[in-house]
């Protein structure tokens, strides 16, 4: 939507405006004026009629009176924010109070005008509001294009595995099918999810991500489905969940294997029925969300072990995309290095010396592309020249590819392997907690464990 240079020339895309006022003369004046501006104008005599129109039509802007019978302006504003989050609302009133103004802005009103107003002032306010909306849409489009470019920069590769992945992404992106992405940590599973989203018909809608292993179990339902006002102590206002935030777009559920069984049941119902119920709510409401899930674990094996619901697995695994580890596509490393250098330092023309490239090719990359990106960022920071040298690499690459293998000498009399492994586990868990200053989430990352798995091990060992 673009505004013309002259206020008398219509907008190219003819913005759609709804005028809501119980005073017929006010509706008529505003309808005539804004129709002359080239806008498409609808009118409603009260808030209830406006809500009926909103069930069938989205508007760029709604101009509504504050005081009306049945559904007043503030209530209409709140309902509009729930139905059409991008619609701009300007409130009109002859009874201006500071409290009303503050309340209107809190509820998301674009502006607030006082009757009687100058016709030229209201014309200018609406024009500025629509220009603001146009700028928001343009910025969203630019961000989408940037996401598209950055996603594929980090997914760069000429290997057979990556070419196969590109083909699958192109085929699945335009559909509404659920997608399950597998792969080790750091391979770029979220980038694959974003690539599917930005190449889909939902690209201009939200992409919302949740790490299922990072949210405490008792907060997951609230995080996904939201809650109603008064649902629990401290719930002083309604909160949208991630499903509502992603409505019309894509919800990415990372580490889906960490989702507790109770929440798996509720997620399955949301996917089957395409509707959700907020915590403390009495009614379901429909949602239109595409689900992309990711895991670094074998979900099929977890279903056989009854640790993950089989019906949910089948619902998520409509299309399976696998992100190969970097060590199995070493031929992609030079291309990735070039692409990542452009992303990390776009203002510089960087290259890598042959000794450094050899070290990068020889490394096992247990942290995959994420580790490669961190290594390059470190080298770029330390290098004043535009040719990155071997000396800028961390010791993990220059002093040998992997950590020294742990060796154990079996005593002649033998040993109790369970007790030995328990002692080793205790020492590693204790050291991880020390290194992370007692912060369990950091300790879990050091040991490549989920937070829930770390907590289980600590409880088992009585730590």
**For residue 447, what is the domain's CATH number?**
1.10.10
- Position 102 scores a pLDDT of 66
* 60 in any annotated domain: yes
> What are the helix (H) ranges across 219-325?
220-225, 242-245, 261-273, 299-304, 310-316
* 409 in any annotated domain: no
Residue 178: give the domain boundaries. 155-322
* 443 in any annotated domain: yes
Per DSSP, which regions of 59-168 are E strands?
Answer: 61-65, 88-93, 111-114
295 and 238 share a domain? yes
Whole-prediction pTM: 0.57
For the chain, what is the total number of helices (H) and then of strands (E)?
Answer: 19, 16
CATH assignment of the domain containing 205 = 3.40.50.300
351 and 233 share a domain? no
Write phi, then psi, for 285 (nearest 5 degrees): -135, 150
CATH assignment of the domain containing 350 = 1.10.8.60
- Position 294 scores a pLDDT of 96
In this predicted model, which residue has the larger pLDDT, 264 or 48? 264
> What are the helix (H) ranges across 296-450?
299-304, 310-316, 333-344, 354-362, 368-382, 395-398, 417-435, 440-446
* 146 in any annotated domain: no
Give the total number of structural domains in the chain: 4
pLDDT digits (tens, 9 = 90+) for 416-427: 788 778 878 888
428 and 379 share a domain? no
pLDDT digits (tens, 9 = 90+) for 320-354: 999 999 998 999 999 999 989 988 998 999 999 99
297 and 225 share a domain? yes
> Of 137, 164, 198, which residue is a domain's last?
137
Answer whether 193's CB lies under 8 Å from 179's CB: yes
Give the separation between CA 407 and CA 130, rounded to whole angstroms: 69
Report DSSP letters for 7-30, one per residue: TTSPPTT--EEEEE-S-HHHHHHH
375 and 226 share a domain? no
């Amino acid at each position: 939507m673009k505004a013309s240079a002259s206020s008398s020339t219509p907008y190219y895309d003819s913005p759609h405006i709804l005028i809501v006022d119980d005073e017929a003369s006010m509706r008529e004046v505003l309808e005539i004026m804004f129709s002359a501006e080239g806008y498409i104008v609808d009118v409603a005599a009260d808030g209830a009629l406006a809500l009926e129109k909103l069930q069938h039509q989205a508007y760029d802007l709604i101009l509504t009176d504050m005081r009306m019978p049945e559904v007043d302006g503030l209530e209409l504003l709140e309902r509009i924010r729930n139905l059409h989050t991008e619609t701009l609302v300007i409130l009109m009133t002859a009874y201006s109070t500071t409290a009303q103004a503050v309340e209107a802005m809190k509820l998301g009103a674009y502006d607030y005008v006082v009757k009687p107003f100058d016709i030229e002032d209201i014309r200018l306010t609406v024009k500025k509001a629509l220009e603001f909306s146009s700028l928001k849409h343009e910025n969203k489009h630019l961000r989408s294009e940037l996401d598209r470019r950055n996603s594929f920069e980090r997914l760069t590769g000429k290997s057979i595995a990556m070419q196969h992945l590109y083909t699958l992404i192109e085929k699945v992106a335009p559909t509404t099918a659920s997608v399950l992405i597998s792969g080790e940590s750091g391979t770029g599973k979220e980038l694959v999810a974003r690539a599917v989203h930005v190449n889909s018909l939902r690209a201009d809608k939200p992409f919302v991500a949740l790490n299922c292993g990072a949210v405490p179990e008792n907060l997951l339902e609230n995080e996904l489905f939201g809650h109603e006002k008064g649902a629990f102590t401290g719930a002083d206002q309604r909160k949208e969940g991630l499903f509502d935030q992603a409505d019309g777009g894509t919800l990415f559920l990372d580490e889906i294997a960490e989702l507790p069984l109770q929440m798996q049941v509720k997620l399955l119902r949301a996917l089957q029925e395409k509707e959700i119920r907020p915590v403390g709510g009495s009614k379901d409401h429909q949602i239109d969300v595409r689900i992309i899930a990711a895991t670094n674990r074998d979900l099929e094996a977890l279903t056989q072990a009854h640790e993950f619901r089989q019906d949910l697995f089948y619902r998520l695994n409509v299309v399976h995309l696998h992100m190969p580890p970097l060590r199995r596509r070493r031929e992609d490393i030079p291309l990735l290095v070039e692409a990542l250098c452009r992303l990390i330092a776009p203002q510089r023309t960087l290259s890598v010396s042959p000794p450094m490239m050899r070290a990068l090719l020889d490394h096992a990359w247990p942290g995959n592309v994420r580790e490669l990106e961190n290594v390059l960022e470190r080298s770029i920071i330390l290098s004043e020249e535009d040719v990155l040298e071997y000396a800028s690499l961390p010791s993990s690459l220059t002093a040998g590819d992997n950590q020294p293998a742990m060796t154990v000498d079996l005593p002649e009399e033998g040993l109790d392997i369970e007790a030995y492994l328990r002692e080793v586990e205790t020492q590693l868990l204790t050291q991880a907690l020390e290194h992370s200053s007692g912060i369990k989430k950091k300790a879990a990352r050091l040991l490549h464990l989920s937070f829930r798995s770390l907590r289980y091990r600590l409880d088992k060992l009585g730590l």
